[in-house]
Structure 1
């Protein structure tokens, strides 16, 4: 199926690795103009060159930097039709070990990392005619873990924010949806595998991790599988989908909603 991305422009934050990079590549394959950013120039170099790709160094927690990023996209491509807010990470600490700075940093990343790019992009998105925003979240938003208490709380707030935005921005023709991830096989998990010094193969280590976490499909997800869900929600073919959250988690989610 042609997802209708020809001539459309999408900005993906945090696109130098993992889910962000897979989404950038999927959108390019679909014929979209793609802009992406990262905090380190050397990381962005991994993406490679493409005639429909614009890259920039940007910390999305900085409103001025986010505005410069969007201005660069407008100058390069003339407009913006989609935004993927993907910048984020997990903080593994129990409540007793969390400092005030831990809470502040986590909330700033999860909220400012969405609000700053969105505020900067809104004037362009309003002129698109069929704009879409996808906020990359996690099943932690609905199924918190004590070991990830700051991240769970921040992601729950982001899920609520995304729903509120979907209602407020609908009048502007802007759809807002969430993709909630489970355990995805990115560089983060491979680093944990090596740090653990396990005698198991990586595949076996993953399988045991999946069993321990109660993942029904018995494995970690792949970044490309997440990118498919994101790309689908961005597509004008999904023009009647807004305010929803799609779990890409291999069945680890226990809720029915």
Structure 2
């Protein structure tokens, strides 16, 4: 099915690995232009430059800290100028803080809300004027099932994720006809989990270790998801084919959600 992405331009934050990298790869393969940013310019270039792309698809790379509003403004402005406008934005930059509320400092609380809320506000404010000129503008905020199903082991992250879900719904009304949606993740096999495995000191293989965590968390499919399995719903929501979908949230969690 042709998603109508060819020739359009999409910005992806946190694109040097994981879900951001998989999303950028899928967009390029479908013929879209991609403006990608991450803090580490060398890592970003190594990850994205070798990606296969459909004929005509162009790539714009820039080192950018999404918490720096001026840097974000420059990134989005340069990308729109070089690639001929902007049709969509994927807010993917993020992290998790594995700590219960009692062991989370005030500074850590502020850092979590800065990353989940202000990083998104920075990119949205920079992108809005360009998106207003698109015939099919869309924003996808990469969030987590924690937004509705908090985990006591990630107290501040759960609260910040809930705030982002609320903000996304508000933006969908405030920015219309720009469409704004969420993709909420469960346990996805990214570098963050690989680092936790290496730090665990376990004698288990990564497959055994991750399967045990999936079982403990109640993942119905019994495993972690992959970045590619997240990228497809993101790209589908960016597509003009999803032109009547806004203010919505799609769970990509292998059945971990327990809410209706």
TM-score by length of 1: 0.96
State the Cα deviation string for residues 150-208 of structure 1 (Å, max 9, x = none).
111111000000001111112xx200000000000011111211222222222122211
CA apart distance, 1:48: 3.5
Q: By how many angstroms is 1:214 displaced?
A: 0.4
Alignment check: 8 A CA contact 2:88 2:139 kept: yes
Pick from 145, 154, 165: which aligns with 1:159?
165
How much has 1:99 moved relative to structure 2?
1.2
The correspondence for 1:176, drawn from 177, 180, 205, is 180
Tell me which stretches of 4 or more aligned residues in structure 1 moved more than 4 Å. Answer: none
What residue in structure 2 maps to residue 15 of structure 1?
15
Q: Distance in 1 between matches of 2:201 and 2:153?
A: 21
Asked whether 1:147 is paired with 2:153, we answer: yes
Q: 2: distance between equivalents of 1:41 and 1:57?
A: 5
Q: How many angstroms apart in 1 are the aligned matches of 2:47 and 2:2?
A: 24
Residue 195 (str. 1) matches residue 162 (str. 2): no
1:14-38 Cα offsets, whole Å, 9 max, x none, are 0001000000001001110000100
| 1:240 matches 2:248 | no
Secondary structure of 1:185's match?
coil
The one of 106, 122, 144 equivalent to 1:100 is 106
Q: Secondary structure at the match of 2:254?
A: coil
Q: Does structure 1 residue 82 correspond to structure 2 residue 88?
A: yes
- Which sections of structure 2, spanning at least 5 residues, go unmatched? 52-56
Aligned CA RMSD, in angstroms, stands at 1.0
* Counterparts of 2:46 and 2:157, CA distance in 1: 28
What residue in structure 2 maps to residue 47 of structure 1? 47
Aligned match of 2:213? 209
How far residue 42 of structure 1 moved from its aligned partner, in angstroms, is: 2.1
- Residue 45 of structure 1 deviates from its aligned partner by 2.1
Q: Which residue of 1 aligns with 2:54?
A: none
Q: Deviations over 1:37-64 (max 9, x none)?
A: 0011122122242661111010111110
**Take 1:157 and 1:193, find their aligned partners in 2: how far apart are those partners?**
29
Q: The residue matched to 1:2 in structure 2 has which SS?
A: coil
In structure 2, which of residues 117, 122, 141 is the aligned counterpart of residue 116 of structure 1?
122
Residues 230-257 of structure 1 show CA distances to partners (whole Å, capped at 9, x for unaligned) of 000000011011100000000000111x
Structure 1 distance, partners of 2:80, 2:178, is 18
Which residue is equivalent to 1:68?
A: 74
Hey, what's the Cα distance between the residues in 1 that align with 2:203 and 2:110?
38
Q: 1:29-40 maps to which residues of 2 (within 5 A)?
A: 29-40=29-40
Secondary structure of 2:234 counterpart? helix
**Structure 1 residue matching 2:175: 3-state secondary structure:** helix
The answer as to 2:230 corresponding to 1:229 is no
